[in-house]
Amino acid sequence: MTAKALILAGYGLNCEEETLHGFEHAGLSGQIRHINDLIEAPQELEDVQILAIPGGFSYGDDTGAGNAYAQKLKLALWEPLQKFIERDTLTLGICNGCQILTNLGLNPPAGTPYGDRKIAVTYNETARYQCRWIDLKITSTSPWLSGIERMHIPVAHGEGRFMMDETTLKTLQDQGQIAAQYIKPDGTPANGEFPYNPNGSLNDIAAITDPSGRVLTIMPHPERAMFTSQRDDYMKLKDTARREGKPVPETTDGMALFHNAARYFEVAQKKSA
């Protein structure tokens, strides 16, 4: 059996197609579902192993990024969602999806039940949308991130700053729930310094998992860094490859996430260059 991914859409989410492509490239099967269709048939969640809420601009970020979509999910799909997460499944929220899952309280600090909001993802310190490539240090044993140490991938958001109280932060740190942190290209911590930390996020946090590690909420976009041609340094990489007489590697950092999901469900990997 091939594990199946369900990717939510609707109301301004907009990265569903490339996110689906990532799963399919990794050998998984997947389908895009409009939230209203899932509300009509919530039992669909019982037939899938992966739920992804992709990036986008649901409800135009009005009333806080991800808030309104989260409210809609909470009202209409809370129980099926909880059941889904309790099963041995994987859940991924990228960018707007991260904001939505955080607003739903689905990445709580250990000891806090799902649904309690202890963490916020709010306006960038610059109060300005930022689209740029950043570097991440991966500090998690989440199945989504296994074997990954660093990633060079882009952010694209106006509200990507994780905020929480000190107790919550400490719990996340102690429980290994901080999944990724912004670093400088030389590997040292960004220490809040713009543009390495593009949003002023507390403790340079870029991604968080739930206590189980199976729910990953990540602000940067792995699905925009799956192929080498998507990279900001692609021109240099392909030039170097040509001079050395080598082919340009097809995939790059972000694809590892999707491969990890496939590996978790023991799906045969597609061979890639």
CB closer to another protein out of 180 and 226? 226
Evaluate whether 103 touches 70 at the Cβ level (below 8 Å): yes
Catalytic residue among 95, 98, 159, 259: 95
Q: How far is CA 250 from CA 211, 230, 237, in A?
A: 34, 10, 11
* Shortest distance (Å) from residue 217 CB to another protein: 14
CB closer to another protein out of 89 and 100? 100
* Shortest distance (Å) from residue 163 CB to another protein: 6
CA dist 100 and 71 (Å) reads: 9
CA-wise closest residue to 221 among 48, 84, 99: 99
136 forms beta bridges with 151, 182
Is residue 46 packed enough to be buried (19+ CB in 10 Å), middle (13-18) or exposed (0-12)?
A: exposed
Catalytic residue among 16, 98, 157, 221: 221
Handedness of CA 215, 217, 222, 223 (dihedral sign): positive
CB closer to another protein out of 67 and 89? 67
Host H or E run for residue 167: helix 166-174
- Longest CA span, the chain: 57
| Residue recorded with tokens 């997460």 | 85
- Active-site residue 95, yes or no? yes
* Shortest distance (Å) from residue 62 CB to another protein: 4
- Active-site residue 152, yes or no? no
CA dist 154 and 148 (Å) reads: 16
* Shortest distance (Å) from residue 254 CB to another protein: 9
* Shortest distance (Å) from residue 87 CB to another protein: 27
CB closer to another protein out of 41 and 87? 41
* Shortest distance (Å) from residue 188 CB to another protein: 18
Contacts of residue 263, Cβ cutoff 8 Å, sequence gap at least 6: 146, 269
For 161-186, letters b (16+ CB in 10 Å) and e give bbebeeebbebbeeeebbbbbbbeee
CB closer to another protein out of 4 and 21? 21
- Active-site residue 221, yes or no? yes
**Interacting residues toward another protein by CB under 8 A:** 9-12, 14-15, 17-18, 21, 34, 36-37, 55-57, 59-64, 67-68, 71-72, 75, 103, 117-120, 122-132, 154, 156, 158, 161, 163-165, 200, 221, 223-224, 226-227, 229-230, 232-236, 238-240, 242-243, 248
CB closer to another protein out of 36 and 141? 36
Which residues are known to be catalytic?
A: 95, 221, 223
